[in-house]
């Protein structure tokens, strides 16, 4: 059985809590030297929010994005992730909030 959308967001939060260095901004992924990569690159060691989602679920991510974007002032998950000064702690909390929202929606 595949993970629910809420489980995917919680798994991102869990990974970033354990390994905050696995989050990045400004691109989908980076290598160990900070070089920009595609999220699928085997050399990738950190990913933006979108990259983290895609490596777990490469298709049909609209419900995840809508949940995340409901917590952003701009309505854009990419802009939210890449906002200067954003912290990994904020990204973790954002994932948890969106996961709770998805579970509430599933319960209705």
Each domain of the chain, given as residue ranges in start order, spans 5-102
Q: What is the pLDDT of residue 44?
A: 98
Question: 29 forms bridges with which residues in the sheet?
Answer: 37, 47
Q: Return the percentage of the chain with pLDDT > 90, whole number.
A: 94
43-62 pLDDT, tens digit per residue, is 999 999 999 999 999 999 99
Sequence-separated contacts (24+) of 81-86 with Cβ below 8 Å: 81/25, 81/48, 81/49, 81/50, 82/25, 82/26, 82/48, 86/25
- Examine the pLDDT at 2 and tell me if it is beyond 80: no
**Rounded Cα–Cα distance for residues 78 and 49 (Å):** 8
**Is the distance from CB of 9 to CB of 96 less than 8 angstroms?**
yes
Label residue 1 by pLDDT band (50, 70, 90): low
Query: Does 3 score more than 80 pLDDT?
Result: yes
Q: Does pLDDT of 16 surpass 70?
A: yes
Mean pLDDT of the chain: 96
Residues 92-99, mean pLDDT to the nearest whole number: 98
């Amino acid at each position: 059985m595949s993970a629910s959308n809420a489980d995917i967001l919680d798994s991102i939060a869990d990974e970033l809590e354990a390994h905050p260095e696995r989050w990045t901004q400004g691109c989908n992924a980076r290598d160990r030297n900070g070089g920009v990569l595609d999220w699928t690159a085997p050399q990738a060691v950190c990913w933006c929010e979108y990259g983290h989602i895609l490596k777990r679920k490469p298709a049909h991510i609209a419900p995840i994005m809508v949940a995340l974007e409901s917590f952003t002032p701009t309505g854009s998950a990419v802009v939210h992730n890449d906002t200067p000064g954003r912290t990994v702690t904020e990204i973790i909390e954002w994932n948890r909030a969106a996961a709770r929202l998805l579970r509430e929606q599933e319960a209705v």
